[in-house]
Structure 1
Amino acid sequence: MESAPRLRKRKAVEYTEDDVNESVDEATPKKKIKTVSKASKVKVEKVKKCSKPKASTSSKGIKKTEAKETKTSRSKPIKTAVENDVDIDFNDNTDQLHNLWDEAELLAQIEKIPLQVAKNLIGLLTEGCTLPFIARYRKTAVDNLMPDRLQELHESYENITHLKKKVKSVIDTLKKTNKLTPDIEKGILNARNLSELDLIYAPLKSHSLSLAERARNLGLEPHAVRALNGEYIDMNTLCGNTDELATIDKVESHITHIVADIIYKDTRVLEHMRSLKEETRFTITSNRTKSSTKDKVDDKKKLDNKSDPETYKLYFDWKCPSHFVKPHQTLALNRGEDEKILSVKVIVPDWFYNRLERFCLTLWKSNFWVRKGLGDAYNRLIKPWLSRHVRSDLTASAQKEAVKTFTTNLEKYLLTEPIKNRIIMGLDPGFRAGCKVGIINANGEKLDACTVYPNLRQQKSFDPAAKQIRDMISQHGVELIGLGNGTACRETELWLKSNNICDKVPIIIVPEQGASIYSVSKEAQKEHPNMDPNLISALSIARRVLDPLGELIKVEPKNLGVGMYQHDIPPKMLETALDSAVEKVVSLVGVDINTASQAMLRRISGLNEGRAKKIIEYRQEHNGFESRAEILKVTGIGKITFQQCAGFLTVLGSSEPLDTTIIHPESYKIAKSFAKKIGVDIKDLTKPHFPQMVETKILTINISETSAELNTDVCTLELIISAFKQKKYEDNVITFCKPVYSVAVQNVDQLKEGTSLTGVVRNVVPFGCFVDCGVGDNGLIHRSNLGGHQTPKLGDRVAVTVIASPKPKKIQLRLDKILD
């Protein structure tokens, strides 16, 4: 970066007496004048033509331009040829952009990773490798980075490539409109993200002029630059006949706006502001808006309000240092502000301005104009910039934490232990609409579906609905009942018990969040054409018992009820989180290609909707796959796609035992050589004693030496050993999770302080967890009420006690113990 004295010297040379009446667009170093003079003159003529009408713009218009002026460049300089005053050829920026934007170097710099790792990752992604494939089968190339970290690097790389395309597009657009100057191009090429690029480009997109641009069009910039560099400027000589230059005060105001613009856009000032921002402790305050305090509200307005204002009572007079604001508080403030219930502000301490002023005084000679220009820039531009940045950083951090909470719960939820080889009855309970019944076989196929109308309010000695249920259980040999935990769940449970329906058939409570929404989706209609959505919901509940992973991925993630403020997170971010979580779970458990649904297959590494459909068509035509190698026969799946998906698709009963493991076909030869080396028969891979045998054999081997002997890397050998040691799922050791709800309490009205309950944890968040106690609404165990226990995990059964709640409609609980 250039030193301050050199910058002042260049400015002094840049603006001579001959340039006094010229536009800023012509004020370029003399050695470059010939290169851009033609374009500059065109631009000057255009600006002069539109300057007169703009001079008479109303105060309202001026405010708009001031707002636009706040969106100025805050790009963080990257060490490039541009900073070293290399001449820029406007007619050929593609090569320079390529040289400037080395994706690997920029990725390594931003994410603080070794350059070679960045190059390896970009190379693998360019070849078409997916993140799950890289995380499992190319660990050595990416320095054993974890999947979450790889996801972060991938997002950062996508931002860099998108930014590179956007930069080229912006430069091309500015060239066409003759607005591109060396300084503007320097700022654009120094932008590190889209928001910084937009701050530079936004003022250039508009036909309206900022206050500084108006002043420049009056020919005052050379005088402002000389004044800032310590020269004496006689204001009287600058006054003119035009209204804009009628008085000394107006001239001084125009020069102040130019000085403010110069200071604010200076790369050294921007860099220092970023540094100060990291050191500064801002304060976030919120208050209730006046509009939300009105007692009488029209019915239409009531419908528009998403929340009761009392929901945000905690934030009506609230303040907190920005570094202590919790993620859930940020999201609550944002939602309250969006609903016009809260007014949120960022308080910037005076310390920030004082430090910034001291720094700016070292860059330019005139203390008077530095203070005057900085004061104007600070109030109009810098404070709004800081406020936006602080709020944006808090929101980004909160959304990231919310997504992390969401994916952690989702992974745990998706890994709910399936109950295989059972004929299952799913019940979607209800009062008026009746109880929907869906029965599936061990493969998840529909056997029967109907609606029964039990009398849940009154217990009768003979209930036709009970006989109907018993007959269906007997006819289809139902071995398990999955009861949805929604409306009328407790009443239906008691009805089943009182009619002796569950004496021989166990009942488990199934979370039904999202089942009704899925039942009316296009995917559900494809799966069950011309079927009543209510009955589809009952079948979905049954399948959540048989194959939780396969069924839950059909539901939109925000409707699963396992996150925090997930409705406030951008849908694209949520969808990406779901895909990442599903791919990670699939990597852990594998998917049987002969039973997986289209919804499951499309989320496998390397596959998409079309390829998944082709796999299912092939499976139906050929009565299933007999080996992994047969996947290559599917239309649309070539060698690259096969490479990406093969390791995640298992073929049970294949003639090749390794087809049932997570070992990739490219490593079969190594796996067989290793098995021979340690003295085990690969044909025994599916036998119960095989994992223990491998465990014993590998105690005496050195993994590093063995991997070198087999001509492979340590990570691949460790994966093979892990696959050999993996115990196969045993279908007959299922322990049914019986209902744990308290029999004495059926609804919220029966709750009072001190009531003891049992329930199941349905959602874990940073400030505690939510427990389903079978009373309709989930209760919150705040982290302050854990009683010395660790936070329960999703699905844990707990004993709790009802405690006093500041909010009458909210259930507050204290954790007594985590049940076995």
Structure 2
Amino acid sequence: MDSVKRTGKRKLPDSSDVPKKLVSKSKKPKVDDKEQGEAKKQSKITKKPALLDKNDAGTSAVDVVEGAFDFASSWDEAELLSNVEKVPRKLAQNFVKLLTDGCTLPFIARYRKSAVDNLMPDRLQELFESYQNVCAYKKKVKTVLETLKKTKKLTPDIEKSILSAQNLAELDLIYAPLKTNSLSLAERARKLGLEQHAIKALDGAYLDPGSLCTNGEELATPDKVEAHVTHIVADIIYKDARVLEQMRLLKDETRFTLQSTRTKSSLKPKENADNKRYETKSDPETYKLYFEWKCPTHFVKPHQMLALNRGEDEKILTVKVIVPDWYYNKLERFCLSLWKSSHWVKRGLTDAYSRLIKPWLSRQVRSELTSAAHKEAVKTFTSNLEKYLLTEPVKNRRIAGLDPGFKAGCKVGIIDTDGQKLDACTIHPNFKSSHEDPAFRQLKQLLEKHGVQLIGLGNGTACRETESWLKNNNISTEIPIVIVPEQGASIYSISKEAQKVDPKHLGVGMYQHDVPPKQLEAALACVVETTVSLVGVDVNTASHALLRRISGLNENRAKKILEYRSKNGPLHTREDILKVSGIGKVTYQQCAGFLKVTGGNEPLDATVIHPESYAVAKAFAKKLELNLKDLTKPDFPAKFDHKLSSFDLESFRQEMQVDGPDMELIVSAFKQKSNADDMISFSKPVYSISVQNTEQLKDGMSLTGVVRNVVPFGCFVDCGVGDNGLIHTSQMQGHPTPRLGDRVAVTVVGVPRPKKLQLRLDKILD
């Protein structure tokens, strides 16, 4: 968390909204006795150090650091979260209490909506990240104070400045000159005994530099004396709490400009190169747009910032922030109102501004833009991934998966309706011959032997050739074929299971290779857990990989459930989960609503209704004269809708004293249709048969394809020619942006050489 994070106009927890008044400590979570051993293994929300009120900062250095451990315990995270995220304090208090009580975000989003004002899951995730950032900042404050105490650099003034800082950036501005073992310019000047003279001079007293000259080299001339005094004055000015606050306010009001130019080194091609290749990772022409580029920072788009950062990393671009003179002039006017000597204020501020403040401003602006860009990239990644994960599954079908290839052949794998492997082999289709070949007979026998009902064909190398081969041999006329994306498949094939796949290889998102890996991994974990919890899983059939993603569960608890199933057979009710070793009441509360038991003794166990609401659900069904044993029958939703049309739902809710969201959840569960096993037709064409590679493309050519990635500036479409083409937002022709997985008709508006394939959207086919 090295930068100030923003989401639109709302400032995140390490921004300048940190409150100055601190109150009581939050209660520690209660852990069920049965889960004590497990709780120790789980990550906990740590109580980290907090900030002091500025009025309490006038104590001695020793008192301050010795009290550093105490001020952490007197701080209320909910108050800070409320101020930072601009949410009601009661909501923040409820949210923090739910977290400290062991509640997970999926559980809060579904079963504690009223406590958090019905916030959506993505907003709850933002609050959670904000809460974590608050804790991280508090921890950093404590570490800095402890470090400065050990190095004997903590003075009352420095301590006051640190506690006046309201985010990591401001803390770094103060702490950076004190990090090294060597003395800063101001510390060296103070060692020479000039501090009192500098303070008096700043307050208006006359200072004669010549009178302070000595025989030593450091104070040999009036100019050297004046330089040392200037360093002390500069240190006093930029660390002053009032100046820090003004710098913060001016920064928010200033219109900065981002500028990029091409580096000289990127103009030099490699020596003895046969073709024109540059001393850079990418072709410099990729960044041609940014060779002479300038834009106000508030108009810089996330993908532009990520492109600039990548170009700078590859030494193709030089990027800098232009700070207007307006900022310095306003800051100087403010400082002149605080101290009497205009001469020393101007000298000191000029020195501090050139050495410290202006570079800090530039770093901050870049950091904020990059942080916002990373946040948008992660949002794009999770949005696309969530749609992939929520793709309707193909149930009760025996499926053959084909991984196409040329020299290595086409790998074939067949699974049954439960996902168990039935067969696997490699065939070598003859793509050039129109006659029947041995590979066809081998595949035909496998398909017939296992009664395959669907073929999934990877969209990688040799996909189009394999697709044509299947059609020429009439296989596709008998069995539907689905073209599936292969992103991450190669990595997956050598990993223990899908969680080992690096998120950047999933092929969704925007500049995901440039986002910090930990940030992307956290986003992946969050969206998988949220999605799995949203859909729910059958506790008797779910794998370990699925169970560990359920709210309240983890690696060990998922393993214990599998062991219980293996030893005792299937669970008959949700309450049976409590019989599993290591799962107590707290974990049961968190996971029960997301683990379904189908065909068990309790019909409600197969719904999203939480056991704590069973009494209300049963009373509701009784009032409507409905038998819950018929809950899974196809006609139950229709009967329910008919009965509900003449029922006073609001009166019933008030009578039962049920929260609105909980009542809505029960109604939704009763309306839910059982999963139908209808045959799904995949016979719709995906790619244009006449075009199979980029060499065949021409401007104005019509194609069909599938949307594989949606980004803020458009979407990428797989047209079966090797490279995905971009439909820019300017080429949508009034159509809404297609969704992930949509089939689209497009027109080529730019061939892939030398640029990327550019497309115009003609129609959304689905």
1:507 to 2:481 alignment: yes
1:108-119 map, 5 Å: 108-119=82-93
| Cα shift at 1:235 | 1.5
- Matched residue, 2:36: none
What's the secondary structure of 1:509's corresponding residue?
A: strand
- Matched residue, 1:84: 55
- Matched residue, 1:344: 319
For residues 763 and 577 of structure 1, the distance between their equivalents in structure 2, rounded to whole angstroms, comes to 17
Please tell me the residue identity of whatever aligns with 1:140.
S
| Cα shift at 1:260 | 1.4
- Matched residue, 2:617: 671
CA gap of 1:380–1:91, structure 2 versus 1, over 3 A, is: closer
- Matched residue, 2:664: 718
- Matched residue, 2:71: 97
Please tell me the residue identity of whatever aligns with 1:245.
L
Among 613, 622, 637, the residue aligned to 2:583 = 637
What's the secondary structure of 2:486's corresponding residue?
A: coil
Among 625, 630, 643, the residue aligned to 2:571 = 625
Matched residue count: 718
What's the secondary structure of 1:439's corresponding residue?
A: strand
1:459 to 2:430 alignment: no
| Cα shift at 1:298 | 8.2
- Matched residue, 1:798: 744
- 8 Å CA contact retained: 1:76, 1:267: no
1:235-634 map, 5 Å: 235-296=209-270, 305-456=280-431, 458-523=432-497, 555-634=501-580
Please tell me the residue identity of whatever aligns with 1:679.
E
TM-score (norm 2): 0.90
| Cα shift at 1:553 | 6.2
For residues 426 and 261 of structure 2, the distance between their equivalents in structure 1, rounded to whole angstroms, comes to 51
CA gap of 1:681–1:77, structure 2 versus 1, over 3 A, is: closer
- Matched residue, 1:53: none
| Cα shift at 1:130 | 0.5
Instruction: String of CA shifts for 1:9-65, please: whole Å, max 9, x gaps.
Output: xxxxxxxxxxxxxxxxxxxxxxxxxxxxxxxxxxxxxxxxxxxxxxxxxxxxxxxxx
For residues 751 and 230 of structure 2, the distance between their equivalents in structure 1, rounded to whole angstroms, comes to 57
For residues 629 and 789 of structure 1, the distance between their equivalents in structure 2, rounded to whole angstroms, comes to 50
For residues 399 and 595 of structure 2, the distance between their equivalents in structure 1, rounded to whole angstroms, comes to 26
What's the secondary structure of 2:709's corresponding residue?
A: strand
| Cα shift at 1:231 | 1.4
For residues 74 and 674 of structure 1, the distance between their equivalents in structure 2, rounded to whole angstroms, comes to 48
- 8 Å CA contact retained: 1:759, 1:772: yes
Bigger drift between 352-361 and 779-788 goes to 352-361
For residues 293 and 511 of structure 1, the distance between their equivalents in structure 2, rounded to whole angstroms, comes to 38
For residues 185 and 696 of structure 1, the distance between their equivalents in structure 2, rounded to whole angstroms, comes to 69
1:639-718 map, 5 Å: 639-718=585-664
Instruction: String of CA shifts for 1:673-731, please: whole Å, max 9, x gaps.
Output: 12112222211111122222222333344544322311332221111111111222211
- 8 Å CA contact retained: 2:94, 2:115: yes
1:131 to 2:131 alignment: no
Please tell me the residue identity of whatever aligns with 1:385.
W
- Matched residue, 1:759: 705
Please tell me the residue identity of whatever aligns with 1:454.
P
Among 179, 185, 188, the residue aligned to 2:162 = 188
1:171 to 2:145 alignment: yes
More helix by percentage: 1
- 8 Å CA contact retained: 2:457, 2:463: yes
Please tell me the residue identity of whatever aligns with 1:261.
D
1:9-20 map, 5 Å: none
| Cα shift at 1:484 | 0.5
CA gap of 1:737–1:110, structure 2 versus 1, over 3 A, is: farther
| Cα shift at 1:515 | 0.9
Bigger drift between 721-730 and 788-797 goes to 721-730
Bigger drift between 399-408 and 623-632 goes to 623-632
CA gap of 1:602–1:263, structure 2 versus 1, over 3 A, is: same
Please tell me the residue identity of whatever aligns with 2:644.
I
TM-score (norm 1): 0.84
What's the secondary structure of 1:814's corresponding residue?
A: strand
For the pair shown, the structure with the greater C-alpha radius of gyration is 1
Please tell me the residue identity of whatever aligns with 1:506.
P
For residues 640 and 117 of structure 2, the distance between their equivalents in structure 1, rounded to whole angstroms, comes to 27
Please tell me the residue identity of whatever aligns with 1:434.
G
What's the secondary structure of 1:788's corresponding residue?
A: coil
For residues 366 and 74 of structure 1, the distance between their equivalents in structure 2, rounded to whole angstroms, comes to 33
For residues 215 and 94 of structure 1, the distance between their equivalents in structure 2, rounded to whole angstroms, comes to 29
For residues 374 and 737 of structure 1, the distance between their equivalents in structure 2, rounded to whole angstroms, comes to 73
- 8 Å CA contact retained: 1:674, 1:710: no
Instruction: String of CA shifts for 1:512-539, please: whole Å, max 9, x gaps.
Output: 111111001133xxxxxxxxxxxxxxxx
What's the secondary structure of 2:397's corresponding residue?
A: coil
For residues 432 and 586 of structure 1, the distance between their equivalents in structure 2, rounded to whole angstroms, comes to 39
- Matched residue, 1:734: 680
- Matched residue, 1:61: none
| Cα shift at 1:733 | 4.9
CA gap of 1:373–1:92, structure 2 versus 1, over 3 A, is: closer
For residues 77 and 585 of structure 1, the distance between their equivalents in structure 2, rounded to whole angstroms, comes to 33
1:214 to 2:155 alignment: no
Please tell me the residue identity of whatever aligns with 1:561.
G
CA gap of 1:192–1:636, structure 2 versus 1, over 3 A, is: farther
For residues 275 and 721 of structure 1, the distance between their equivalents in structure 2, rounded to whole angstroms, comes to 50
RMSD: 2.2
1:31-110 map, 5 Å: 78-80=19-21, 82-85=53-56, 88=59, 89-90=63-64, 92-94=66-68, 96-98=70-72, 101-110=75-84
- 8 Å CA contact retained: 1:75, 1:190: no
Please tell me the residue identity of whatever aligns with 2:417.
A
CA gap of 1:102–1:221, structure 2 versus 1, over 3 A, is: same
- Matched residue, 2:6: none
Identity across aligned pairs (percent)? 68
| Cα shift at 1:86 | 6.1
Please tell me the residue identity of whatever aligns with 2:177.
P
Instruction: String of CA shifts for 1:264-292, please: whole Å, max 9, x gaps.
Output: 11122121122111121111111111222
What's the secondary structure of 2:527's corresponding residue?
A: helix
CA gap of 1:91–1:244, structure 2 versus 1, over 3 A, is: closer
- Matched residue, 2:34: none
- 8 Å CA contact retained: 2:278, 2:284: no
Gaps of 5+ in 1: 1-72, 524-551
What's the secondary structure of 1:789's corresponding residue?
A: coil
| Cα shift at 1:100 | 5.0
CA gap of 1:755–1:91, structure 2 versus 1, over 3 A, is: closer
- Matched residue, 1:25: none
Gaps of 5+ in 2: 1-13, 22-51
| Cα shift at 1:297 | 5.0
For residues 700 and 611 of structure 1, the distance between their equivalents in structure 2, rounded to whole angstroms, comes to 45
Instruction: String of CA shifts for 1:439-481, please: whole Å, max 9, x gaps.
Output: 000111000000001112x124130000000000111111111
Please tell me the residue identity of whatever aligns with 1:346.
V
- 8 Å CA contact retained: 2:456, 2:483: yes
